[in-house]
């Protein structure tokens, strides 16, 4: 029986080290840091460890929210998603994970992009858009 990616990279301790280093990179990236304002970072790291462990073949099941629900309303862009993937690949390489395994991990996580990236909202015309946003009634002009 072939071992899982989780086992091949060293199991829980390796996933934990990867998550710690990964978030050091992400949280110091000016293009990504704003996504994590007002986030309980320890809780986020715990969720990420559990998610990655399950995604890479650990026997434990991931019990957290689905990717679509977890990222709803955050406005994650294609560019932000791609930066996160770049940081993850760099983290894994820095920790000694071979290129083929990094490719396998990227392949396992790539389908999640559709649930994480959200389309940009349609632009609003100035006056009409502001009224809608503020839910203000249209003012009547004096006669």
Mean of the per-residue pLDDT values for the chain? 85
Residue 48 CA neighbour count, 13 Å, CB half: 20
Residues 6+ apart with CB under 8 A from 65: none
What is the predicted pLDDT for the residue at 131?
A: 53
Task: Give yes or no for residue 64 having a pLDDT over 80.
Answer: yes
Please tell me the distance from the alpha carbon of residue 123 to that of residue 65, in angstroms, as a whole number. 30
* 52-67: average pLDDT: 88
Query: Residues, the chain, total?
Result: 143
Task: Give the CATH architecture of domain 5-134.
Answer: Orthogonal Bundle (1.10)
What is the predicted pLDDT for the residue at 13?
A: 95
């Amino acid at each position: 029986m072939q071992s899982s990616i989780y086992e091949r990279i060293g199991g829980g301790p390796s996933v934990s080290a990867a998550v710690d280093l990964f978030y050091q990179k992400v949280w110091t990236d000016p293009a990504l840091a704003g996504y994590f304002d007002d986030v309980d970072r320890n809780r986020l790291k715990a969720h990420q460890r559990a998610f990655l462990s399950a995604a890479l073949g650990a026997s434990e099941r991931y019990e957290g929210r689905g990717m679509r629900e977890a990222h709803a309303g955050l406005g994650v862009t294609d560019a932000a998603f791609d930066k996160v993937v770049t940081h993850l690949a760099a983290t894994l390489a820095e920790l000694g994970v071979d290129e083929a395994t990094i490719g396998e991990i990227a392949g396992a996580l790539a389908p999640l992009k559709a649930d994480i990236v959200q389309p940009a909202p349609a632009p609003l015309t100035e006056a009409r858009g502001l009224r809608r946003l503020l839910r203000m009634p249209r003012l009547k002009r004096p006669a």
